[in-house]
Every structure is written in structure tokens, then in C-alpha cells.
Amino acid sequence: MDEELPYEIRFAAQDEWEEAMGLAWKTFLEFEGDIYTMEGVRSFEDFITDSGLKRMFLMGVYQMMTAYDHGRMVGMITLRNEVHISLLFVDKNYHRHGIGRALIMKMASYVKGELGKHRLTVNASPYGVAFYHQIGFRDLGPEKKQDGIIYTPMAYEFPEGNG
């Protein structure tokens, strides 16, 4: 399941929050910002700058993994409610290098092995839908829009067996 990548993927340290949210914001603006209304852009910014979200991360109830290339953060994924991918962003210079897939698979391994859950969910952005389909996520319903945020609800059922 895991192919060896030249990137370090691990749970984020507490002092990496700001850098990860900066990566999320920059990447969101590059790939999603132009299709969102100002309401959607503000909603996203409010979400990633919410002090309550950061508090949940610091308390360990909002997990984050990060990917590094020679000490530089190039990707991040967060998990809420034990099974929901809340944020997944990879620096544009690292797209199509397997980092997003590796982050999801590492988080899936944690969710299955440590939490005993059997699926992941995500509200995929328009840019991310094809990527999630490639990994094996399936749509749970049509595209939706809430507070200006456009998304397709999706789920990934873990294969039976070990790992």
C-alpha cells in the first residue's frame, strides 16, 4: 500500500500550525479562490484562522499530518471527528508527486489502526474531486454550496484485511 517517497510524512508538531495554515491559504487561493465568491473565500479564511480550531489541534482532538521535502513543508492533511478529512493541501510545485495520496494513506492507516474506524469522509473542493476519485473515494451526493464553500461529499471505505 505504501510506496516509498523521498518525503517525510509525520504528525505535525504544535509549533507547525501557522506554517500549515499558511500553506492551506496560499494553495486555496491558487487553485480555488477564482471560482469562489467573496463569501466563500472569507468562509475559508475564517475556518483556517479560527482560534477554536487551533485549540482543538493543540488539545490533540484535531489531528494534522505534514509532508516535508528536506525540511520544507510541502503538504498537510487534517482530520476532525476521527474520520473526516478537513483540509488537504499540497504546494503547487509538488502536485502529481504522490504527496496527497501518501498523506491520505498515512492518515487512513492511523484511522484504521489506532481508532478502529473503517472509512474516511471528505467534502471535496471542485479542484479535488478528480483526485479523490482516483484514490477510490465515491460521491455521497451531488455538489453542494454552504457559506460560499463549494464541495462534493465523498467517502472512502477501507479495504478488508491487514493494514
The per-residue pLDDT for range 91-141, each reduced to its tens digit, is 999 999 999 999 999 999 999 999 999 999 999 999 999 999 999 999 999
Q: Please state which of the four CATH numbers 3.50.30.30, 3.40.1390.30, 1.10.760.10, 3.40.630.30 is assigned to the domain occupying 8-157.
A: 3.40.630.30
Residue 7 has pLDDT above 80, yes or no: yes
Per-residue confidence band for 50, with pLDDT thresholds at 50, 70 and 90: very high
With contact defined as beta carbons under 8 Å apart, do 111 and 117 qualify? yes
Distance CA 147, CA 138 (A): 24
Per-residue confidence band for 64, with pLDDT thresholds at 50, 70 and 90: very high
- Report pLDDT for 110: 95
- Report pLDDT for 135: 94
pLDDT tens digits, 19-45: 999 999 999 999 988 889 999 999 999
Residues 6+ away with beta carbon under 8 Å from 15: none
pTM of the predicted protein model = 0.91
With contact defined as beta carbons under 8 Å apart, do 64 and 3 qualify? no
